[in-house]
Structure 1
């Protein structure tokens, strides 16, 4: 199993990630009224339809953060950042699939986003494709049930050797790796997780017509207390540069990022 790549700390302004480098943005999920102007009309309307306040905060934080982060790489005002979610694998008109920055020509970066109710992660790479996932341990209520539907035969055999105390932590690590790999490919849960082995540094999958021919590299990431996180990349990652947006970022003006 790959350990987390070396952590990087850099000066303000992210630049395009170098080969072997991934930028990992951590954004706490908060009520952010000053970020609402970053959203487009449809996104603001969607935010207002949420009846659960926490779900609205997650949606607003995620959509605005993606635009604020995209603005740093594309050199655009946040409101001018266009994000597409077109799925090239099916014909449905409903926007879904991997998010992408639409910038006329292919965008200079690929990115992936994941969240819990408390934390948002955005992984950005300048070379190849990327997938990221974060999960909270509190959401893991049925350990044996998830193991039965999510683990390969070999993974279940290893799971059975673990103590009751160690099983939830190991299972959540495996699940975040599977989610990150499935996000990278754009296939999502069309991949049967019971056919996807993620114990090693590369994802191993049974027959899957649309699975990429290139290797899918897997890495465990440092995560906030009570969480697990993982990264998948189509190219090897040797350095993760952790980045944060200013908490008081204001739409269209205070959108500069800093790295930590």
Structure 2
């Protein structure tokens, strides 16, 4: 079974002592962010990432080596990754925030992506759906009663966003070409975009839907979220062997499952002080 730690914090959990954990690049980005709420989200996400990874790596949080390099321009942005040039990278992680919610997912079983959406914020469902959903997905959305469409759309959106974050490609991949299961069904990738639909430098044409695993979450009972895992070949082989052994012993499990280990991100941030 694939395992991923997921920690949730809130906007109000950001406090000044957490600034001591940031590296110079992070501190510069924090200080240049104008809106107080955006600064708090960034601080909480960076600090929570460092605290979780530091615990796993047995390092002081401020010493966790992180690297932000855009694959296109080389700039200090894009998906944040551990920077261990002389050793295999043991963990992947993903940061997300929406409204007052900040989340971090960490796993050693593959590349991870986490997305959350504010379940209480207004959404232009019609406009967003035409951009993000395939024809089949759009028809399924409009087959629902109007009162159910907003949350149904957000569920599909979090699934797609989590997959793209796991792959580190962001919105450069056309969302309409990536098809996922209906909101009421277990989360799964049904159709992966063909090579012709993706920018050539993304190099994801060899992926199969089976390489992507997901779990749906609900934060505070109102905010839909999804965690996605892009499983490496070695991990997939290990998971299949483990599942085969469990089945032989009469246990119920399988390589497609994602076990979410919840962590209290608010408590983790509150526990850190000078």
**TM tier relative to shorter chain:** 0.7 to 0.9
Counterpart secondary structure, 1:105: coil
CA deviation after TM superposition for structure 1 residue 201, in Å? 3.9
CA distance in 2, matches of 1:147, 1:118: 24
Counterpart position of 1:98: 79
Does 2:176 align with 1:180?
A: no
| C-alpha distance after superposition, 1:25-82 (max 9, x if no partner) | 1122223111111112332232222222111111111111111111011111111111
CA distance in 1, matches of 2:92, 2:257: 14
CA distance in 1, matches of 2:149, 2:115: 19
Counterpart position of 1:219: 215
Counterpart position of 2:90: 108
CA deviation after TM superposition for structure 1 residue 22, in Å? 1.2
Structure 1 residue corresponding to 2:138, chosen from 156, 168, 184? 156
Counterpart position of 1:240: 260
CA distance in 1, matches of 2:258, 2:120: 30
| Aligned-residue CA RMSD (Å) | 1.9
CA contact (8 A) 2:215 2:258 kept: no
Normalising by structure 1, report the TM-score: 0.82
Written as runs of structure 1 = structure 2, the 5 A alignment for 1:68-83 is 68-83=51-66
CA deviation after TM superposition for structure 1 residue 140, in Å? 4.1
CA distance in 1, matches of 2:60, 2:103: 21
CA distance in 2, matches of 1:111, 1:225: 24
| C-alpha distance after superposition, 1:160-207 (max 9, x if no partner) | 101110000100000000100111111111111111111164312231
CA deviation after TM superposition for structure 1 residue 248, in Å? 2.3
Q: 1:106 to 1:87 in 2, by over 3 A?
A: farther
Structure number with the bigger relative contact order (C-alpha 8 A, sep ≥ 6) is 1
CA contact (8 A) 1:26 1:122 kept: yes
Structure 2 residue corresponding to 1:84, chosen from 40, 49, 67? 67
| C-alpha distance after superposition, 1:130-179 (max 9, x if no partner) | 11100102444211011111100110110110111000010000000010
Q: 1:45 to 1:238 in 2, by over 3 A?
A: closer
Q: Judging by fraction of residues, say which structure has more helix.
A: 2
Unaligned segments of structure 2, at least 5 residues? 232-255
Structure 2 residue corresponding to 1:205, chosen from 184, 188, 192? 192
CA distance in 2, matches of 1:58, 1:160: 34
Q: 1:43 to 1:98 in 2, by over 3 A?
A: closer
| C-alpha distance after superposition, 1:76-119 (max 9, x if no partner) | 1111111112244x2x1212232211234122111111111311
Unaligned segments of structure 1, at least 5 residues? 1-18, 254-260
CA distance in 2, matches of 1:182, 1:139: 23
CA distance in 2, matches of 1:238, 1:151: 25
CA deviation after TM superposition for structure 1 residue 23, in Å? 0.9
State the aligned residue count: 232
